[in-house]
């Protein structure tokens, strides 16, 4: 009983309280014995939803049990009937959680509006604060981390932590951590549908807007690549009128669509192959990183940093955890942790990195990508085609997408596992000294 309730709570939070997505998982896998890989975070919102759902379940148990024992002869059985019904209804706790989300939605909307209004007012007072907004289908976090490292050489910088990129998360950060001494605020802006980046820009309107690239990531939620393009370009359409616009010229969808969304507005492009300074070596894998650094140089110069300050900042760059992060195992095994990368362009770059380890056995492990929508087969076929000449062994997790990868692979190279946990537990029996293993993406528990 308790495990079922805990799982429903966990999945609801994992789906960011989206009832459509929550119910999709419940219908597909109503009861699962698989162990959750993350922990429930008991935010005030989740605590209120659960409390409301629990009250509704108690009320339902009471209302059903009461008529069953209405006669005086059976009145003494009421506690037993009530307890039995409460336990039984626990296996349908997802119904009460859903009702609680609906019932509390007006309050939730009001709280979000209140937090956003307070955050806007606080930013409005800090006249000299420069806001840098970053969005894209991929590369947002890496851009944010490297940019913060470079700019921190000269300025006091606040950046959104981890994956905080929603209106509530950003508003709370502004109210809590945006102090008067901060000179630059770097905001990672995420979105799953049109209008969400616009809403973020209304809270923190960018003085500098960065678009890192557009691809099929989250296509299932956006509905089409056209919607994705329109959603991502909201960051430049809603930046300040004199904002610096920095775009990735290596990305086809950015390059082909920027004129429509910007008109005659000036743009600064960056490319991975055009280094602006004599950069020092950096401890990061992937050719794309030089494009990111070039973008940071453009921004740093706009903000008044000289070449020496910029180069000092670049020298301080560290690997971004779980994004092509190289880890040397004491047993002579090289691990490339790319488990936070779940988009087609990132996968393509990761496979290129794996291919550079010549003369070593190369192993690739993945559950595939999520939310590729109508392009799901094409995207995963391409992964298989790219992997086949590079990897010596491909470890696939059985789900709805990995068969499309396997279609383009030599079957002798493929090992299948029922779950990621099972695959990881088997690695000591698979790996040997000298191997290079790339961990590509990690599916959350709300995907099937």
What's the pLDDT score for residue 447? 42
Residue 44: which pLDDT band, with cuts at 50, 70 and 90?
Answer: confident
Tell whether 158 is covered by a domain. yes
Alpha-carbon distances, residue 269 vs 210, 251, 272 (angstroms): 10, 11, 10
Average pLDDT, the chain: 89
- Residue in 265, 266, 278, 274 with CA at minimum distance from that of residue 292: 274
Given a cut of 90, whether residue 65 has pLDDT beyond it is no
Tell whether 448 is covered by a domain. no
Given a cut of 50, whether residue 389 has pLDDT beyond it is yes
For residues 282 and 361, give the distance between their C-alpha atoms in angstroms, rounded to a whole number.
25
Residue 90 shares a structural domain with residue 215: no
- Residue in 245, 283, 249, 277 with CA at minimum distance from that of residue 264: 245
Given a cut of 90, whether residue 246 has pLDDT beyond it is yes
Residue 170 shares a structural domain with residue 229: yes
State the chain's maximal CA–CA distance in angstroms.
91
Residue range 293-310: average pLDDT? 96
Do residues 147 and 296 lie in contact, with contact meaning Cβ atoms separated by under 8 Å?
A: yes
Tell whether 138 is covered by a domain. yes
Alpha-carbon distances, residue 329 vs 336, 345, 427, 437, 438 (angstroms): 10, 27, 13, 11, 13
Residue 207 shares a structural domain with residue 300: yes
Tell whether 123 is covered by a domain. no
Residue 155 shares a structural domain with residue 303: yes
What's the pLDDT score for residue 446? 41
Question: The domain that contains 409 carries what CATH number?
Answer: 3.90.190.20
Residue 250 shares a structural domain with residue 204: yes
For residues 334 and 364, give the distance between their C-alpha atoms in angstroms, rounded to a whole number.
12
Class of residue 330 by CB neighbours under 10 A (exposed 0-12, middle 13-18, buried 19+): exposed
Three-state SS for 51?
Answer: helix
DSSP 37: S
Given a cut of 90, whether residue 74 has pLDDT beyond it is no
Residue range 46-64: average pLDDT? 94
Of 315, 350, 371, the residue at which a domain comes to its end is 315
Predicted TM-score (pTM) of the model is 0.86
Do residues 430 and 415 lie in contact, with contact meaning Cβ atoms separated by under 8 Å?
A: yes
Given a cut of 80, whether residue 392 has pLDDT beyond it is yes
DSSP 413: G
Residue 448: which pLDDT band, with cuts at 50, 70 and 90?
Answer: very low
Higher pLDDT, 185 or 447: 185
Do residues 320 and 339 lie in contact, with contact meaning Cβ atoms separated by under 8 Å?
A: no
Residue 135 shares a structural domain with residue 100: no
Q: Which of 203-212, 271-280, 324-333 has the highest mean pLDDT?
A: 203-212
Tell whether 65 is covered by a domain. yes
Question: The domain that contains 179 carries what CATH number?
Answer: 3.40.1190.10
Residue 118: which pLDDT band, with cuts at 50, 70 and 90?
Answer: very high
Residue 93 shares a structural domain with residue 223: no
3-state helix, strand and coil shares in percent for the chain, rounded to the nearest 5: 50, 10, 35
Of 290, 315, 340, the residue at which a domain comes to its end is 315
Residue 290 shares a structural domain with residue 193: yes
Given a cut of 90, whether residue 352 has pLDDT beyond it is yes
Q: Is 286 left (phi over 0), alpha (psi -120 to 50) or beta?
A: left
Expressed as residue numbers, the domain containing 421 is: 325-440
**Percentage of the chain with pLDDT > 90?**
64
Residue 288 shares a structural domain with residue 351: no
Do residues 38 and 442 lie in contact, with contact meaning Cβ atoms separated by under 8 Å?
A: no
What's the pLDDT score for residue 106? 95
What's the pLDDT score for residue 51? 96
Residue 88: which pLDDT band, with cuts at 50, 70 and 90?
Answer: very high
Residue range 177-188: average pLDDT? 96
What's the pLDDT score for residue 69? 65
Residue range 41-47: average pLDDT? 89
Residue 205 shares a structural domain with residue 289: yes
Which phi and psi angles does 378 have, rounded to 5°?
-60, -45
Helices (H), 42-92: 44-68, 78-90
What's the pLDDT score for residue 31? 59
Given a cut of 70, whether residue 181 has pLDDT beyond it is yes
Pairing of strands 208-211, 130-135: parallel
Of 315, 343, 371, the residue at which a domain comes to its end is 315
Given a cut of 90, whether residue 230 has pLDDT beyond it is yes
Do residues 207 and 131 lie in contact, with contact meaning Cβ atoms separated by under 8 Å?
A: yes
Tell whether 446 is covered by a domain. no
Residue range 34-52: average pLDDT? 83
Tell whether 200 is covered by a domain. yes
Do residues 432 and 363 lie in contact, with contact meaning Cβ atoms separated by under 8 Å?
A: no
What's the pLDDT score for residue 420? 87
Residue range 140-166: average pLDDT? 92
What's the pLDDT score for residue 372? 66
Alpha-carbon distances, residue 350 vs 217, 324, 426 (angstroms): 16, 7, 23
How many domains is the chain built from?
Answer: 3
Residue 41 shares a structural domain with residue 85: yes
For residues 275 and 295, give the distance between their C-alpha atoms in angstroms, rounded to a whole number.
10
* DSSP letter for each residue of 139-176: -HHHHHHHHHHHHTTTS-EEE--TT--SHHHHHHHHHH
Residue range 83-94: average pLDDT? 92
Tell whether 118 is covered by a domain. no
**Percentage of the chain with pLDDT > 70?**
94
Residue 165: which pLDDT band, with cuts at 50, 70 and 90?
Answer: confident
Residue 178 shares a structural domain with residue 247: yes
């Amino acid at each position: 009983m308790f495990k079922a309730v805990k799982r429903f709570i966990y999945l609801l939070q994992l789906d960011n309280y989206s009832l459509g997505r929550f119910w999709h998982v419940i219908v597909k896998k109503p009861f699962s014995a698989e162990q959750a890989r993350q922990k429930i975070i008991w935010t005030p919102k989740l605590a209120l939803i659960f409390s409301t759902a629990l009250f509704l379940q108690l009320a339902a148990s009471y209302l059903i049990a009461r008529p069953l024992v209405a006669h005086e002869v059976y009145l003494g059985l009421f506690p037993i009937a009530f307890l039995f019904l409460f336990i039984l209804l626990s296996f349908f706790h997802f119904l009460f959680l859903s009702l609680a989300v609906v019932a509390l939605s007006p309050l939730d909307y009001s709280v979000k509006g209140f937090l956003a209004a307070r955050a806007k007012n606080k930013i409005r007072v800090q006249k000299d604060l420069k806001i840098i907004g970053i969005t894209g289908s991929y590369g947002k976090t890496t851009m944010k981390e490297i940019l913060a490292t470079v700019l921190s050489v000269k300025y006091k910088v606040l950046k959104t932590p981890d994956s905080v990129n929603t209106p509530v998360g950003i508003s709370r950060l502004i109210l809590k951590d945006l102090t008067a001494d901060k000179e630059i605020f770097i905001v990672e802006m995420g979105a799953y549908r049109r209008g969400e980046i616009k809403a973020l820009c209304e809270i923190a309107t960018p003085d500098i807007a960065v678009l890192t690239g557009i691809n099929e990531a989250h296509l299932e939620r956006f509905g089409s690549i056209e919607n994705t393009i329109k959603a991502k370009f909201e960051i430049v359409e809603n930046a300040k009128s004199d904002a610096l616009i920095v775009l990735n010229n290596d990305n086809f969808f950015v390059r082909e669509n920027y004129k429509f969304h910007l008109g005659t507005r000036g743009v600064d492009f960056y490319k991975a192959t055009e280094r602006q300074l004599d950069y020092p070596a950096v401890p990061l894998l992937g050719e794309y990183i030089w494009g990111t650094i070039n973008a940071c140089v453009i921004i740093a110069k706009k903000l008044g940093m000289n070449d020496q300050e910029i180069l000092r900042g670049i020298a301080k760059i560290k690997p971004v955890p779980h994004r092509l992060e190289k880890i040397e195992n004491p047993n002579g095994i090289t691990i490339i942790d790319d488990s936070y990368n779940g988009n087609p362009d990132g996968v393509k770059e990761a496979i290129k990195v794996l291919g550079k380890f010549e003369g070593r056995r190369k192993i690739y492990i993945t559950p595939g990508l999520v939310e590729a929508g109508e392009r799901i087969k094409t995207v995963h076929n391409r992964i298989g085609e790219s992997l086949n000449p590079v990897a010596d062994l491909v470890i696939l997790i059985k789900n709805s997408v990995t068969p499309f990868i396997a279609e383009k692979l030599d079957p002798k190279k493929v090992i299948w596992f029922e779950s990621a946990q099972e695959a990881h537990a088997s690695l000591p029996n698979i790996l040997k000294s000298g191997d290079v293993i790339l961990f590509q993406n990690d599916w959350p528990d709300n995907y099937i």
